[in-house]
Structure 1
Amino acid sequence: MQNRLVLTASVTREEALRYTPAGIPVLEMWLAHGSRQREAGLDRDVRCEIQAVMVGEAGRKFAGRVAGQVLTFEGFLSQRSLRNPRLVLHIESAEFVKG
């Protein structure tokens, strides 16, 4: 079963590219999303901020290019670690939003 989350958001902060002990690139960032959604027949303003991580060659490709930009991200949610239950978006693909 593959459940994917798609989110359009601006990158409010981008960390420096780092590498795991195995040499895998990791790019961490924080995203801000805002939209109007329909719920129970009513319009609702939605706002959230979420931590995200891009692992592998995609992280290297986007490093230094996303801060302040708006992108559409696709990925999945997972807890930060076994000891930290905070949710993190694991980005599998991203596209810059034109406009």
Structure 2
Amino acid sequence: MQNRLVLTVTVEREDALRYTPAGLPVVEMWLKHQSRQTAGGFERDVACDIQAVWIGDDARKYSGKLAGQVINVTGFLGQRSLRNPRLVLNIEYVEFVKG
């Protein structure tokens, strides 16, 4: 089973590009999401800050160009590491929203 999240977010902050011990490019970033959702038949405003990580060639390609951008992200939630259970959004796909 593959469960994916799709969110429209603003990139609040991004860290400098780094590389994993295996040599994979990684960009960590902090995202802000705001929307109006329906739950239990009632509408409510939703807002949250999300820590995210983007790994791969596209992360390297767009590194340094993300802060302040509105993007649609597709990804999955996972723990930060084997030793740190904090949830992080693992980004698989990014689409830039035209302003």
TM-score (norm 2): 0.96
Offset, 1:72: 0.2
Is 2:36 aligned against 1:36? yes
- Take 2:61 and 2:5, find their aligned partners in 1: how far apart are those partners? 21
Q: Deviations over 1:34-91 (max 9, x none)?
A: 0000111111000000100010112112201110110000011001112211110000
- Segment of structure 1 superposing worse, 5-14 or 80-89: 80-89
The residue that corresponds to 1:68 in the other structure is: 68
- Take 2:94 and 2:42, find their aligned partners in 1: how far apart are those partners? 30
Q: Which residue identity lines up with residue 61 of structure 1 in the other structure?
A: K
Is 2:99 aligned against 1:86? no
Query: What's the C-alpha RMSD, in Å, of the aligned pairs?
Result: 0.8
Q: Aligned residues, how many?
A: 99
What is the aligned-residue identity percentage? 68
- Take 2:40 and 2:90, find their aligned partners in 1: how far apart are those partners? 29
- Segment of structure 1 superposing worse, 30-39 or 55-64: 55-64
The residue that corresponds to 1:13 in the other structure is: 13
Structure 2 stretches lacking a partner, 5+ long:
none
- Take 2:91 and 2:45, find their aligned partners in 1: how far apart are those partners? 24
- Take 1:85 and 1:20, find their aligned partners in 2: how far apart are those partners? 19
- Take 1:91 and 1:2, find their aligned partners in 2: how far apart are those partners? 14
TM-score (norm 1): 0.96
Q: Which residue identity lines up with residue 42 of structure 2 in the other structure?
A: L
